[in-house]
Amino acid sequence: MCKSKLNSFMYVERIRHVLCSNPDKRYLLVRSNIRDFKLVNQIFGFPKGNEILRCMKKLIVEHGRYFEVFDQLHVDQFVFLIEKDKFEEELFRRIAQVCSEFIDNPGFRMHFQLGVYEITDPEMEVLSMCDRAKLAIKSIKIDEPFSVAWYDESIMEERLYSKKIISEFDSALKENRFLLYLQPQANTKGEIISAEALSRWLLEDGTILSPSQFIHILEDSELIWKLDLYMWDKAASLLSEWKEDPEKKNLSLSVNISPKDLYYLDIAKILIGLVQKYDISPCKMNVEITECSFVNSPELYVDLIAKLHDAGFSIEIDDFGSGYSSLTLLKNLHADVLKLDMGFLQDTDDLIRSEIIIDSVIEMAKRLDMQVISEGVETQEQAAFLKINGCDFFQGFYFSRPVPSDKFDTVLKAYNLERTNSKSVRPKSLRDLVQEAV
């Protein structure tokens, strides 16, 4: 038997022995993980990664009295059996803090995660308990240096839902049940000048799923590149149709690139091939890259963006301000458009400080010769503030929700009509507001 299987067998047997010997005690099966630990090795080198792991092992051994059983599952993952009454989240937090100090780089944060499964059925297979603790880890959505998640049945329901999405994805793609939706973008005159291409999933029963219901699943399962290929083609095809339409021939579309696309596709070659296939100008097909994805693969993105720029594409940084390396990104990434994350103005107790930050970001973008799109605009007050502070374009529910591509004409004509109808009695729209703001 190989060493890894032997170790697995040993920790399972030790946990089983403790549970059988103490039927009246309540235990927790805890699993630890360092998210994206491979990045530590890639960025700082394997010696630094090994140093962190040695420190972690040492601290775990020193606190071994708190654990009934502990063992190393994988390189950066450990498993613990702990009496419920002895579980101390703070102990694990301290271990994580000490280990994170080995990385002396303000632009990179380590993420330690704990998945906790409370053992209610001691007869359950130990490996099934470990799987539940792992599912708890996978449920962690927050981007914090230390995170803890407890398993509950809703996590299993989400797991089953994910499996359903994955199993039906290929057939839905073949049957063209992914729809192209467009969210309009307006300039300071209230004119629609572009739109972001978004996807929706039409189920067989007629239900339409929003991206939040399937995109993250496709990303986690390494399937997102297939959907992106499909959506890029649909966007390019639509731009080709617009060439002959006087009202739409000057409009552009923005398409999204997922971080996983870099590992499966020659993105520049594909996008250049699409503009040639549909005989469209690359300047009409803008490419959106999220801030967080750039942080994980900076070298790959710098090379990609250079190729796309050379081919005539415009590059947009999406969700700017949602990550932790925004300034580093702007220093290294020569993009054309910055899409400002309006989360700055939402869910905050200090609106003044948030507005100061936004004002400074817009000014900085201008000095870097970048245009600014504010996405997530939901109120008149936000639109007025952004207009006054130099924002170039607006996108958000206050202006228009995403609409099916075949309904885009309706939105476009409505705004064209409003521009020519001086007797309009509609409530003030974004167009009215941004024109009046000074």
Q: pLDDT digits over 45-79, tens only? A: 999 999 999 999 999 999 999 999 999 988 899 99
What's the average model confidence in pLDDT over 313-320?
87
Residues 99 and 233 in one domain: no
Residues 130 and 265 in one domain: no
Residues 297 and 387 in one domain: yes
Q: Is the model's pLDDT at 426 over the cut of 70?
A: no
Q: Tell me, what's the pLDDT at 2?
A: 37
Domain end point (choices 151, 172, 204):
151
Phi, psi of 177, deg, nearest 5: -95, 15
Residue 257 lies in a domain: yes
Q: Tell me, what's the pLDDT at 171?
A: 96
Task: Give the residue with greater pLDDT, 415 vs 428.
Answer: 415
Q: Tell me, what's the pLDDT at 415?
A: 66
Q: Tell me, what's the pLDDT at 321?
A: 62
What's the average model confidence in pLDDT over 174-191?
92
Q: Does the reported pTM lie above 0.95?
A: no
Provide the residue range defining the domain that includes 292.
161-436
Of all residues in the chain, the percent with pLDDT exceeding 70 is: 87
Split into its structural domains, the chain has a count of: 2
Instruction: Name the residue with tokens 């801030």.
Output: 291
Residue 121 lies in a domain: yes
> What span, in angstroms and rounded, lies between the C-alpha atoms of 220 and 201?
17
Residues 176 and 219 in one domain: yes
Q: Taking the alpha carbons of 87, 90, 93, 94 in that order, is the dihedral positive or negative?
A: negative
Q: What is the dihedral of CA 212, 215, 219, 222, to 10 degrees?
A: 150
Helices 351-367 and 380-388 sit at what angle, rounded to 10 degrees? 40
> What span, in angstroms and rounded, lies between the C-alpha atoms of 359 and 33?
39
CATH of the domain at 10: 3.30.70.270
Residue 66 lies in a domain: yes
Residue 176 lies in a domain: yes
Domain end point (choices 105, 131, 151):
151
Residues 19 and 118 in one domain: yes
Query: pLDDT band at residue 423, thresholds of 50, 70 and 90?
Result: very low
Residues 269 and 310 in one domain: yes
Residues 103 and 198 in one domain: no
Domain end point (choices 125, 151, 177):
151
Q: Is the model's pLDDT at 390 over the cut of 80?
A: yes
Residues 169 and 291 in one domain: yes
Query: pLDDT band at residue 400, thresholds of 50, 70 and 90?
Result: confident
Contact 227, 211 (CB under 8 A): no
Burial class (CB in 10 A: 0-12, 13-18, 19+), 157: exposed
Q: Tell me, what's the pLDDT at 437?
A: 43
Residue 156 lies in a domain: no
Residue 219 lies in a domain: yes
Residue 80 lies in a domain: yes
Q: Is the model's pLDDT at 424 over the cut of 70?
A: no
Range with lowest mean pLDDT among 131-135, 183-187, 269-273, 351-355: 351-355
CATH of the domain at 239: 3.20.20.450
Residues 260 and 406 in one domain: yes
Residues 137 and 182 in one domain: no
Residue 323 lies in a domain: yes
Residues 12 and 147 in one domain: yes
Task: Give the residue with greater pLDDT, 107 vs 323.
Answer: 107
Residues 165 and 139 in one domain: no
